[in-house]
Amino acid sequence: MPEIFPIPDLRIFSYGTTIAGGLLLWFIEGLIPWLSKEKHRTLHAKLNLSIAGINLLILLPSGILMAFMLDWSRNVWPGIGMLALHPFAKAIVIILLIDLWMYVWHRLNHEVAFLWRFHSVHHSDPALDVTTSWRFHYMEILISELLRLPLFMLMGAGIEHLLLYSLLMTPVIEFHHSNISIPPALDRLARLIIPSPIMHRLHHSTIRSEHDSNYGSMLSLWDRLFGSFLIRENLDSLCLGLDHESDTKKQQLFALLLRPFRP
């Protein structure tokens, strides 16, 4: 099959987009914040980036293994390739399937008690901003990597499809986690396609019925299809995080790493 995506270029764009998008949103958050009472932005970012740094110890070797396994598996099992689609059409189908899996995985993290123990570290952040998009417990990352590899092999996905998906999805995730004040009309327009900031802020509500909604990563389509779409235009009374988890002692690196293992 001809290579339509230069992989080195995709890696550069994907990593560059993540870093540049994060820095840009961090800067804008300081100028026009939605949650103006947020304090200690630098300390908050340091905590979340420390958690992200630990996850890189899993993601970097996992990425190398995944590239090797996906390249090998496509010679054994073509997956979507059996449909004889044009490479661009195949890429679109695979990207949609990956995003559907991300929706399913996110929803499972809320509905399965064992998985929630780890995902709750992400939700325990009482100050939602762009750095929250990188705050995930290392066990959640590890389980996610172990589950998605056989699924991607079954799809017939290549590492280029994963990199392209990351290039498209990462700015969306950073945007809807960001603490940026945007006009309601713009949010309404955005959520026709992607999970908007208002959608995702509601997802980080302390109220269980609200945070068990709006699971989409790149597209809002899945929430609408599977009945998990929820919106509340006025978020003035919204409390973020988890009850009894916002005090300083519980919002420290080792406390968060150990949180899923507490009784």
Instruction: Quickly list DSSP for 21-52.
Output: HHHHHHHHHHHSBSSTT---HHHHHHHHHHHH
pLDDT at 172: 97
- Segments of the chain scoring below 70 in pLDDT: 1-10, 13, 37-39
Q: Take residue 140 and report the two structure tokens written for it.
A: 């959640």
Let me know if residue 154 belongs to a domain. Answer: yes
Cα 78 to chain centroid distance, Å, stands at: 27
pTM beyond 0.85: yes
pLDDT at 113: 97
Give which of 191, 256, 247, 200 is closest to 224, Cα–Cα.
191
Cα 24 to chain centroid distance, Å, stands at: 18
Q: Into how many domains does the chain fold?
A: 1
- Compute the distance between CA of residue 189 and CA of residue 192 in angstroms, rounded to an integer: 6
The answer to whether 236 and 111 have CB atoms below 8 angstroms apart is: no
Hey, how many other C-beta atoms are within 10 angstroms of the C-beta on 123? 22
Residues β-bridged to residue 33: 180
Q: Is 240 helix (H, G, I), strand (E, B) or coil?
A: strand
Q: Take residue 187 and report the two structure tokens written for it.
A: 């949010």
Query: Which residues, 6+ apart, have CB-to-CB distance to 197 below 8 Å?
Result: 34, 175, 176, 177, 178, 180, 182, 187, 190
Let me know if residue 1 belongs to a domain. Answer: no
pLDDT at 40: 81
Rg over alpha carbons for the chain, rounded to the nearest Å, is 19
pLDDT tens per residue across span 107-144: 999 999 999 999 999 999 999 999 999 999 999 999 99
Let me know if residue 35 belongs to a domain. Answer: yes
Let me know if residue 11 belongs to a domain. Answer: yes
**Amino acid letter for position 39:** K
pLDDT at 1: 40
Strand residues in 59-171 grouped as ranges (E): none
pLDDT at 18: 87
- Compute the distance between CA of residue 196 and CA of residue 193 in angstroms, rounded to an integer: 9
**Amino acid letter for position 42:** T
Run of H or E including 86:
none
Range of the domain at 53: 7-261
The answer to whether 112 and 122 have CB atoms below 8 angstroms apart is: no
* Dihedral sign (CA 228, 144, 132, 91): negative
Residues in the chain: 263
Let me know if residue 2 belongs to a domain. Answer: no
